[in-house]
Each structure stands twice: as C-alpha cells, then as structure tokens.
Amino acid sequence: MVRLWMRLGLRTKFLLSASLMFAGFMLVLGAWIQSRIETDWRQSAIAATARFLDDMLSDHVAVLMSRSDPRAEVAARLLSAEFEGGLRKEFAAITVWTTDGVEVFSVGRQAMGETLPVDVRTSVLSGETVVRQRGSAFHTERGAVMRVFTPVLDPAAGTIAAIAGADQWSGEIDRVARAESLKTWPIVGAATVVMIGLLYLLVTSAAATIERQRTALVRQARHARLLGRRSAVLTRLAEQARHDAMVAIEKTLARVGSDIHDGPIQRLAILALRLDETQAGRALGEEMQQIVAELRDITSGLALPELDGQDLEGAIRLAVAGHEKITGKEVALSLGPLPPHVRKSVKVSAFRIVQEALANGFRHGGGVRQAVHARAGQGCLVLTVSDAGPGFPGGPPDPGRACLSSLNSRVEAMRGDIRLGNAEPHGVCVEVLLPLGLRPAGSAGTR
C-alpha cells in the first residue's frame, strides 16, 4: 500500500486526500443532521402527545378530581372505553394524578401501582412536559416504552388541575424519525459529490497550469544552459585571441626593432666611421655615434627577448638581469613557487611588467634598494616590485596616470589587477596580479 501510494502523482495524492477529508467531514455532518432531525422529531411527537392528553382529559378532569361525584365513575368508564377502543395501539397506559400526587385514574396494566415521583411533579407543576424512559422489561416488538408526564389545564380557570401520564410506544415514533432523518443523506451525498467535482476541476486546472509552467521553465533552463556553454566557448576564444594578439604585438615590435637595428642603424654606423676619416667630419661622426647608441637603446626596448627557451622564472630573471646590466644597480630577487608551464602571453607580460616597473623605480626613485618578488597562488601570478626611494608624497596616484599608463594597460589587457602603495618606512610598492589561466571580462580586480 505504501509503495502504491509513493508511485502516485502529486495531483492524484491531493485528490484522494481531499476526497477522503471531504467524505469524512460530510459523514460527520450528515450524522449530526440525522441526530438533530431524530431528536426534533421525537420532541415534536412528545409535544403532540402532551396536547392530545390535555385535550382528551381536560373535559373530565374536574369530575375525576371529585370522587364523591357520581359522574366520576361514568367519566372513568368513558376514558377506559376510549383507551380500549383505539388508543391501546399507541399507548400502554394512561394515568391521572392530582396536583398533590394522588392517583385518581389509571388504565392499562403497566400503570398499576405507579407513584408520581416528586421531581416529576415539581417540573410538571411548573408547566413542563417530562419524559422518562421505562425499563427494558417494557420493550416489545412495538419498541421501547417512554412515559410522558404533562399538566392538564382546567378549561374554566386556565390553571393546572391535574397531572397526566401516558406510557407510549416509541417504535412508530422512532421509525418515522429515522425515515425522515435518512432523507438528508441523499442531499449530503449530492453536496459531497458536487464539492469533490469542483475540487477535481480546480486541482486539474491548477495542475495543468503548473505543468505548463514547469515545461516552460525546463525549456528556458535548457536554453540558458546552451547559451551558457556558447558564452563560455566564446569567452575562451576571446581570451585566447587577446593572448595571441599580445604575443603578435611583441613579435611585431621585435621585427620592427630588428629591422631598424639591421637597416638604418647599420648604415648610420658605417657613415659615422667614414666621417671619422676627415678632420671636419670627426665632430659630426661623434654626434652620429651618439645617435646610433640612442637608437640601439630604443630598439633593444622594442625587441622581444629570447624567451622561447625560458620558463616563467627564467623570464623574470632575464628582466631583472637586463635592468641590472643597464643601470649598474643590484636588484634583490625573491622567487616563490612558480608553475613550470604557462601561456606565452603570461610569460611575456611578466617580463615586460618587471622591466617597466624597475625602470620607473629607477627613474623616479633613484633605484635605491630595488626588489622583485614573484610567487603563484590561487590561480594568479603575484609580482611585487618595490624600492626605498622617496615614495608618493601626496599618496598613491591613479595607475592610469602618464608614467604608469603603459603598465596599467598591459595589466588590464591580461584581466589582472594592479595596486600602488607606499612602502615602509619609505619607498614605493607595486603589486600586480596576473591570472595564470583564462578569465572572463569583468573579473579584473578579483583577488
């Protein structure tokens, strides 16, 4: 049963549960209505019995109360004859008492030897009709016997003249009350069917709406997943294109530098040597030699270093060594764990960033105690370049300012993050985070 219930759908479970609750509620309601109808019908029958006794005895009560009146015996015979004639089918006995509880008339075997209870007499004298169920010895095929006590009014005075009691068969009353009460069950059943039908329509409509919404959500979720996969592919392609573009730019710069070095510079160098052969051209030759040296410095900055055979650590060491060679200043290098294999764009960017940061530190800070620290952590390459120069008197500037725009542009191109600050006790600290893998646009600055 439990397994069958678990296999049912949500709509079926709800309909079954709601139907059972409705059926139980209507069953209780129907039973209560049936009980109320039966009770009201019995009370109506008792009230009719009380009126009948009052109507039948009111004309004879004054005579019955006076035993010395010769008409009392005649009245008793008339009442007995009427009882034997047609009332015996409905009544087992009829008894009349005075208001003091003294029996003055009785007919029927069950009424013999009965006394009027004090509590009953008190209630009847106050105008109530009292009903008492007789013992099981009086139960026959005509049902149980109930005793009805009711006041009998004096027609002339309008006061209670006597107390009448009747032992009435309840079988017919019970049958009629039951028959009338059972008429409510078809109505209750019809109302239950209508309510369950309306509930079924409501649940079916709601279930259809929910199913349509669920289908739409599933379709939208499937479409969103497809778009997500396409977006991820496009993002990776865009990032790869950006990395490839950086490498291509570096190659282009290297080719331009090589062309300048092998072409115009070589020709200027030869021309300068020829000018040195004459006294007049010796001064001009020295000036041209100075121009050739400056051009070589420029082309050395444009040319891409030989990084193809270097890993990330080798590229950083090469940038530091080149700076030391040009400036004659020693740079403290500290390297943490670094991945052996990274994208070429990461390697080139690390080289250029260290190179430019050291150059800026030398130009603006005098190259005092310059240091480079590199480590990898949480998917990023962390480069820290610091010095002990004067620092930023007015606080760290915007990385986009003129002297840092090139460095900032390279970091942004790599979707990285750059932070500038004053070192302790004085100096400048530049911290750059470069993603080692591909990162989508808008993620720069995430640490």
pLDDT tens sequence across 281-336: 666 666 666 666 666 555 555 555 567 778 889 989 988 988 888 888 899 999 99
Arithmetic mean of pLDDT, 266-273: 60
Which residues share a beta bridge with 210? none
The reply to whether 176 and 28 lie within a common domain is yes
The reply to whether 177 and 319 lie within a common domain is no
What does the pLDDT read at residue 432? 92
Q: Identify which has the larger pLDDT, 324 or 247.
A: 324
What does the pLDDT read at residue 279? 56
Question: Hey, what are 108's tokens?
Answer: 């029927």
Assess whether pLDDT exceeds 50 at residue 447. Answer: no
Arithmetic mean of pLDDT, 146-150: 85
- Cα(434)–Cα(151) distance, rounded to whole angstroms? 110
Provide the residue type at 112 as one letter: M
Q: Are 83 and 75 in contact (CB under 8 A)?
A: no
- Cα(16)–Cα(219) distance, rounded to whole angstroms? 31
Q: Residue 345: CB partners within 8 Å, gap ≥ 6?
A: 242, 243, 244, 246, 247, 414
- Cα(327)–Cα(367) distance, rounded to whole angstroms? 8
pLDDT tens figures, 195-225: 878 878 887 888 788 888 989 999 999 999 9
Q: Are 435 and 415 in contact (CB under 8 A)?
A: yes
Please report whether residue 100 resides in a domain.
yes
Please report whether residue 234 resides in a domain.
no
Answer with the one of 182, 213, 248 that is the final residue of a domain: 182
Assess whether pLDDT exceeds 70 at residue 129. Answer: yes
Q: Which CATH number covers residue 73?
A: 3.30.450.20
What does the pLDDT read at residue 114? 59
What does the pLDDT read at residue 403? 57
Which residues share a beta bridge with 160? 153
In percent, the amount of the chain with pLDDT more than 90 equals 8
pLDDT tens figures, 342-401: 888 788 888 888 988 888 888 887 888 899 999 998 889 999 999 888 877 766 676 655
Arithmetic mean of pLDDT, 55-64: 77
**What is the phi/psi pair of residue 243, to 5°?**
-65, -45
Q: What is the pTM of this model?
A: 0.42
Please report whether residue 10 resides in a domain.
yes
Question: 3-class DSSP state for residue 105?
Answer: strand
Top mean pLDDT of 147-156, 199-208, 227-236, 333-342 is at 333-342
Q: Are 34 and 180 in contact (CB under 8 A)?
A: no
101: closest CA among 81, 87, 121, 83? 121
- Cα(331)–Cα(318) distance, rounded to whole angstroms? 12
- Cα(243)–Cα(343) distance, rounded to whole angstroms? 8
Q: Residue 137: CB partners within 8 Å, gap ≥ 6?
A: none
How far CA 163 is from CA of 65, 92, 149, 250, 392, in Å, comes to: 11, 17, 7, 128, 121
The β-bridge relationship of strands 332-335 and 371-377 is: parallel
Please report whether residue 216 resides in a domain.
no
Q: Which CATH number covers residue 380?
A: 3.30.565.10
Distance of CA 7 to the CA centre of its chain: 25
- Cα(359)–Cα(370) distance, rounded to whole angstroms? 10
What does the pLDDT read at residue 440? 43
What does the pLDDT read at residue 443? 46
Give the other-Cβ count within 10 Å of 81's Cβ: 10
Q: Are 114 and 103 in contact (CB under 8 A)?
A: yes
Question: Hey, what are 109's tokens?
Answer: 């075997």
Top mean pLDDT of 111-125, 142-156, 424-438 is at 424-438
Q: Are 169 and 143 in contact (CB under 8 A)?
A: yes
In percent, the amount of the chain with pLDDT more than 70 equals 75
What does the pLDDT read at residue 116? 79
Answer with the one of 182, 210, 235 that is the final residue of a domain: 182
The reply to whether 19 and 162 lie within a common domain is yes
Q: Are 137 and 118 in contact (CB under 8 A)?
A: no
Arithmetic mean of pLDDT, 32-52: 82
The boundaries of the domain holding residue 322 are: 309-447
Answer with the one of 159, 182, 205 that is the final residue of a domain: 182
**How many domains are there within the chain?**
2
Q: Are 329 and 372 in contact (CB under 8 A)?
A: no
Please report whether residue 243 resides in a domain.
no
pLDDT tens figures, 178-195: 777 777 788 888 888 888
What does the pLDDT read at residue 1? 64
172: closest CA among 137, 131, 140, 136? 140
Question: Hey, what are 97's tokens?
Answer: 């008492």
Please report whether residue 300 resides in a domain.
no
Cis previous bond, 425, omega within 30: yes
Maximum C-alpha span of the chain = 188
Distance of CA 236 to the CA centre of its chain: 35
Assess whether pLDDT exceeds 60 at residue 11. Answer: yes
62: closest CA among 49, 72, 53? 72
Please identify which residue in the block is written with the tokens 């720069």.
444
HSE, CB side, 13 Å, CA atoms: give it for residue 373: 9
Please report whether residue 417 resides in a domain.
yes
Assess whether pLDDT exceeds 70 at residue 420. Answer: yes
Please report whether residue 392 resides in a domain.
yes
